[in-house]
Structure 1
Amino acid sequence: MNTALITNDAVVLGLLATILGGVFYASNHPTFKKIFTYVPALLFCYFLPSLLNTFGIVDGDASQVYYIASRYLLPACLVLLLLNLDLKAIFNLGPKAVIMFLTGTLGIVIGGPIALLIMSAVSPEIIGVDGPNAVWRGMTTVAGSWIGGGANQAAMKEVYEVGGDIFSAMVTVDIIVANVWMAVILILAGNAKKIDAKTGADTSAIDALREKAEAYKAANDRNPSLTDLMLIVAIGFGFTALAHIFADTVTPYFVENHPELKKLSFHSKFFWLIVSVSIMGLILSFTKARNLEAVGASKVGTIYLYILVASIGLHMDVLKIFNAFSLFVLGGIWMLVHAVLMLTVAKLIKAPLFFMAVGSQANVGGAASAPVVASAFHPALAPVGVLLAVFGYLLGTFAAWFCGQILQVIAVA
């Protein structure tokens, strides 16, 4: 039974919109502006809604706001952010973005087994009896989620026959640990210039992409007319509709005719939704539709993105960390291994913080949050997050399955 104070999603959406408006108003107010120099506005947009869930004002799990934001606003947002995609400039970023993404994947694959080894040495009972609710089985679903996303997580649940009790516990660990790490990344993003200067990272390619986007904006920006705004909304939701039609058509085909491709997320409508809408946005970037950037296409897309961010925050309950403390410690060690490996490789190859942050989030958060982190650096960089996240969907199940094999060996041993 839902015991939350507010159960009407219209009220929930109004609260989230009010929070977002308040954060942006405060970020430009002389009294509070200094705070936002150190902590990005995006973090407040993400953290404040979590308090609504934590203190029982809203039940994030019962609310449909996230589902609506992820299925309707996220695809529209991706189309609008990809309209101004400059593929040549992204390729000029070099191989470091891919290296950091793969490093993030490796960190999750080896981080789980390392965390299990450490926790089993300190608290042997965490291994438990091997059965459907064994901890190692539950960890495979977290690996799927942190490398690919929800579809990969569901695939691991089936592949490793994960019991309902440990799956529920691990979903909570997944959400809270991943969200805390995202908060850390957003704080780092707010101080990216200082960090890159200290590490000696080469940010020239990123700066060039950012400057090119800003130069285009300065040369072409104009006040949007009602017609311009209507066209932006039409393209965003029109192509979202086409992507849903495609996903609704393709998914049943693979379910019925190719059951072996379930491991590749081909049985997930959300997978096909994100892939198809990304391809559509990519194609549109070569047409006259890209001119809509001059009248604020990415700004409208970013509004959708911030509503999504607030709805993601609505799923976080920081007090749940005390319900199964040992599992959260396990998840924390796991994420720490991932983070340390990312930071170490970034320092060794002198990769900018942007590559580390987006490479990590393309793994841990997927298509819902990788563009969020990328846009925290600059809206023109959001497509990098989108492209890496799609790569994560394809790689996720293979890497998570391999991680599960290692976890099984450790648990049995």
Structure 2
Amino acid sequence: MITNGFLFISLLLAISAVLVVAGHSGKFRVFKYVPGFVFLYIVAALLNTVGLFDHDSIDGVGDGLQDALLPAMILLLLFKCDVRQIIRLGPKLLLTFVVTAASIMLGFIVAYLIVHSALAPESWKALGALNASWTGGSANMVAVQDILEAPEDVFGYVLIVDTVLYSFWLLLIFSSVAVSDKFNRWTKADTSKFDFGGRVTGEEEKPMTLSSIIGLLGFALLVSALAAKAGEMLPEVGTVINASAWTILIVSILGLVIGSTRWGRAAGSSQLATIMLYLIIGIIASGSDFTSLAEAPIYLVAGVIVLLVHIVIMLVYAKLTKTELFSIAVASTANIGGIASAPVVAGAFNRALVPVGVLFALIGTFSGTFLGLLGAQMMSGIG
């Protein structure tokens, strides 16, 4: 069992290195269909499932590193973004987010209709809290649980559902990157709006230097630390806008500003951000435990029904509106995952569109509590 935080991080980085080298070698065709970070997610989750990680000893290191790297990664990814191009994508992105959130809330109602007879009398309160989490984030979930006074034992079950299904959903979303072209052909989506005229790829052809790498690394980590400090000093707004939300917002705005200047053309930002992306995914995956599937089975069934309804509605929506997979995947992740994972998924699809992930996540952060309460109210009338 690994009890040393440094060994834990080193192992994740070593696995990432093997996967990146294997993927770039061209010898393994599987990497053409499944991105390397999907394998990292699976390997890290399996290692945790077999009990390799002592979370009492390493969680502090992993969580601390993730808190430090996430703002830095978002900042670096935004260096190659042109906010004017994001604005030109139009209001359809917001419509996609609204449909996504509505499909999840409808999924909870359908799931409760099907399985409510096998659930505890006040299970609708806990499911309402889970609804808040899957349309916003953990802060929304806690807020709804507190407002509705959901029973602690039932709330514990939905926490398991949240952890297990979120892990599998994130794995599925990451895997979908490899089939995005096929999906877009199926929906006949117009992806030309995502072609930013070489704004990104052209800059990556510039050679990296020691000064560019160390300058970017030092700057990104310093900004991450200062943004986190500033986030702690800013006032919380309700129960959903907290220090973490402020931190992400600060680095996002700064990254967009830098991206419109010559400083955004510094070579190496993409490579550094990718390294951070792998580490963050590894840390997230190391908290997944597949053995939890054996607990609270009826609530897991309810959660699976929610996701199935969500998938069906989004597939129909994508086909009817000719929507590309990127928008669907990031909107879904922003709802079910939240502000920590939406920008990561957006970066996996197209790093020039990380602001879309941040935007979606912030909208979910604002609306999740209200959607959870609304869903709970609807479920309470079923019986």
Instruction: Name the TM tier (shorter chain).
Output: over 0.9
Q: Which one of the candidate residues 330, 340, 344 is aligned to 2:316?
A: 344
Matched, 1:163 2:148: no
Residue 73 of structure 1, CA deviation: 0.5
Quickly say closer, same or farther: Cα 1:162–1:189, change in 2 above 3 A. same
The structure 2 residue matched to 1:177, chosen from 143, 165, 176, is: 165
Equivalent of 2:238, from 248, 262, 265?
262
Query: Which amino acid is the alignment partner of residue 46 of structure 1?
Result: Y
1:43 CA displacement: 0.9
Which of 226, 236, 239 is the aligned partner of 2:220? 236
Q: Find the partner of 1:217 among 195, 204, 214.
A: 204
Quote the Cα distance in structure 2 between the aligned partners of 1:153 and 1:82: 29
Q: Partner of 2:330 in structure 1?
A: 358
| Corresponding residue for residue 230 of structure 2 | 246
Which one-letter code corresponds to 1:53 in the other structure?
N
Whether the 8 Å CA contact 1:210–1:378 is kept in 2: the answer is no
2:5 is the alignment partner of 1:9: yes
1:165 CA drift (Å): 2.3
CA offset digits 1:155-174 (Å, max 9, x no partner): 12211223332233212211
- Please report how far the alpha carbon of residue 199 of structure 1 lies from its aligned counterpart in structure 2 after TM superposition: 2.2
Distance 1:79 1:55, change over 3 A: same
Q: Aligned partners of 1:18 and 1:210: how far apart in 2?
A: 35
Following superposition, the deviation at residue 404 of structure 1 comes to 2.0
Provide the rounded CA distance (Å) in 1 between the counterparts of 2:55 and 2:156. 15
For residues 46 and 3 of structure 2, what CA distance do their matches in structure 1 show?
A: 15
> Structure 1: which 5+ runs fail to align?
255-260
Query: Matched residues in 2 for 1:244 and 1:374: separation?
Result: 22
Shift of residue 311 of structure 1?
A: 0.7
Percent sequence identity over aligned pairs: 34
The whole-number CA distance in structure 2 between the counterparts of 1:70 and 1:155 is: 24
Q: Give the drift of 1:69.
A: 3.4
Distance 1:43 1:21 in 2: 14
User: 1:313 — aligned with what?
Assistant: 285
Match for residue 72 of structure 2? Answer: 76
Cα gap change, 1:76/1:44 in structure 2, threshold over 3 Å: closer, same or farther? same
Distance 1:402 1:210, change over 3 A: farther
Asked whether the equivalents of residues 223 and 251 of structure 2 are also in contact (C-alpha less than 8 Å), the reply is: yes
Equivalences for residues 133-148 of structure 1 within 5 A: 135-148=123-136
CA drift of 1:217 comes to 3.2
Moved more, 94-103 or 43-52: 94-103
Q: Secondary structure at the match of 2:145?
A: helix
Separation in 2, partners of 1:270, 1:168 = 24
Distance 1:197 1:70 in 2: 36
AA in 2 matched with 1:334: V
Task: Identify which range, 64-73 or 330-339, moves more after superposition.
Answer: 64-73
**Distance in 2 separating the partners of 1:159 and 1:7:** 38
Paired with 1:54 and 1:88, the residues of 2 have a C-alpha distance of 44
Q: Distance in 1 between matches of 2:326 and 2:308?
A: 19
Correspondence for 1:125: 118
Superposition CA RMSD, Å: 1.9
User: Residues 30 and 243 of structure 1: is their aligned pair in 2 closer, same or farther, counting only changes over 3 Å?
Assistant: closer
SS of residue paired to 2:238: helix
Q: Distance in 1 between matches of 2:201 and 2:88?
A: 17
Q: 1:330 aligns with which of 294, 302, 307?
A: 302
SS in 2 for 1:58: coil
Q: Pick from 38, 45, 56: which aligns with 1:43? A: 38
Does structure 2 conserve the Cα–Cα contact (< 8 Å) formed by 1:155 and 1:262? Answer: no
Offset from partner CA, 1:335-368 (integer Å, 9 cap, x none): 1111211111111100011111111111111222
TM-score where L is the length of structure 2: 0.93
Unaligned runs of 5+ residues in structure 2 are: none
2:22 equivalent in structure 1: 26
Other-structure match for 1:109: 105
Distance 1:91 1:152, change over 3 A: same
Displacement, 1:59?
Answer: 4.1
CA contact (8 A) 1:100 1:360 kept: no
Partners of 2:9 and 2:62 within 8 A in 1: no
Deviation at 1:313, TM superposition (A): 0.6
Distance 2:372 2:183 in 1: 31
Distance 1:383 1:45, change over 3 A: farther
The SS at the match of 2:246 is: helix
